[in-house]
Amino acid sequence: MSRAVVLTVLLAGLIIIGSSGSVFGAQMDARINPNTETSPFKMNYQKTVFIEYQNGGQLFDVLRGQEWTVQGTADSSDPGVQKLMSTLNNKIQSDGSQAHISDLNVSYDIHLKARNINTSVDYRVILEGTLSNYVITKDSQKTLIDLGWRGMSTTNEVVIDGHELNFPINILLEMEPEAAAFFVGTEAEDVLHRNLIDADFILQQPLTNWHFLFDPTGINVDAGTFGLSEEIAGYVVSSWTMGESSIREGRQVERVFEAEVMADQLYVVRSVQSSDQANLYAIGFGALDVFDGVEIAGVTATPPEDYATTSTGDFPVMIIYGMAGIAAIAGGAFFMFSNRALKNTKEGQQGIDPNRLVGHQTSSSSGGYQTNRGEAQLADDSDYQQTRSYYDDSSNTTQSPPPQPEATPAAAQEAACGCAASAEMGSECDCAMQGACLCDASCPCNADICKEQVNSMS
């Protein structure tokens, strides 16, 4: 039983882990073309801060009815964007990658809305740009591309259009200084001083743990009918996807940081940044490898001959056999438990032995029609007291049996009633059913037609 309970808990955990989902914190989307010098990418960073005042107070009075939005866009001509691009390139280089960002656009959207019991501040910063120098080597058969640039993060301030975007506390100090003063010098300030532009987890998750698929549409004979762009014509497209919460990738949960502030009332500040997600595409068939501690992919125009893989690479080898083993153990535990329960029950025939039953016909003929109905009765009455019906016991009934009429000799009935059928047919004298009667005064039949016949004969 204990083993069965453990297996049940384990399987339930697998279901919960596999089905969890969330809104993404850092979301990456990049398409690398090894045949060109540059490729586009997009990084989306999101975070929400909740300021809670369940019992009202001065902070509630300060924020009551407040709602505002700070948003804008800037390109690489903006000094703030240039500084951010330089900072990101330094981070990519420190991660061991030779790639760098050659162009960058930044858009931001920060929205505050006050409610009766809390205030929420939604932060969103989107980076769209161009990667270059990601090709390591290239020959007639294979191209090696650098994939170690994924951790686009910075712990520096990012000031664009006069707004600091990387640390949530700064926009509050700018837009709501009276409310932000409640948090300065407290643990809440540490919660609000965690950087928003953070994609380190996307880099830390090895690409071998990502789901891998390749699309061979570009090499189909009729690929032109699909309206494919020229860059993928004649090639397959490899894709790696990260973000599923599972045993192989690990359980991905929201990053929640919380702190309490005791002023005139107890206030709670909570920062929520959900699990990361990433989609990485490469033109051609990509085979992963590691070079000098940096993840790379060897890209060919077509997949190797007779190549086949699942959407999870080596996932089936590690997991599917393990799941099959768990299922086998669970099945063994189930049969063991069932066998133990069966031994505790009485075996063999329960009730009356069929060899002691005999069949009896219960139907009779009428007008020459005979049915096959019958019933089973005991061949002897040795165990009748154990098998008889409750209603067969005269002590359990209150009604007395109906009076039995005096028996009339069969010969007298047969002689008296001329309407009786022949004895071979096995039917009785029934003047009402016959519709005619030839009876004398000694006929005991009570049918009206018989009485009329008797009167007419007398």
Listed residue (221, 203, 161) closest to 30, CA to CA: 203
In a 13 Å sphere around the CA of 217, the CA atoms on its Cβ side amount to: 14
Q: Which two tokens stand for residue 412?
A: 């007298």
Pairing of strands 26-32, 266-273: unpaired
Pairing of strands 26-32, 277-283: parallel
> Residue 348 above 60 pLDDT?
no
Count the neighbouring beta carbons within 10 Å of the beta carbon of residue 355: 8
Residue with the bigger pLDDT between 54 and 341: it is 54
pLDDT at position 408 is: 47
- Among 147-151, 243-247, 275-279, 356-360, the range with the most confident prediction by mean pLDDT is 147-151
How far apart, in Å, are the Cα atoms of 277 and each of 219, 310, 320?
29, 20, 24
Residue with the bigger pLDDT between 218 and 221: it is 218
> Residue 99 above 70 pLDDT?
yes
Residue with the bigger pLDDT between 368 and 89: it is 89
| pLDDT per residue as tens digits for the range 309-329 | 544 444 454 566 677 778 888
Task: List the Cα angle 19/21/27 in 5-degree steps.
Answer: 140
Question: What is the dihedral sign for C-alpha 383, 386, 391, 394?
Answer: positive
| pLDDT per residue as tens digits for the range 15-72 | 443 333 334 478 999 999 998 999 999 999 999 999 999 999 999 999 999 999 999 9
Residue with the bigger pLDDT between 153 and 379: it is 153
DSSP lists the bridge partners of residue 271 as 49, 257
| pLDDT per residue as tens digits for the range 278-303 | 999 999 899 999 999 999 999 988 77
Where in the chain are the domains?
2-330, 419-457
> SS3 of 380, please?
coil
> SS3 of 366, please?
strand
CA dihedral 281→282→285→287, nearest 10 degrees, is -90
Q: What's the mean per-residue pLDDT of the chain? A: 77
| pLDDT per residue as tens digits for the range 399-449 | 555 555 554 444 444 444 555 443 444 444 555 555 555 565 666 666 666
pLDDT at position 365 is: 53
CB 92 within 8 A of CB 101: yes
Mean pLDDT score, 80-98: 97
Residue with the bigger pLDDT between 217 and 257: it is 257
pLDDT at position 218 is: 52
pLDDT at position 407 is: 47
CB 329 within 8 A of CB 7: yes
Task: List the Cα angle 68/70/76 in 5-degree steps.
Answer: 175
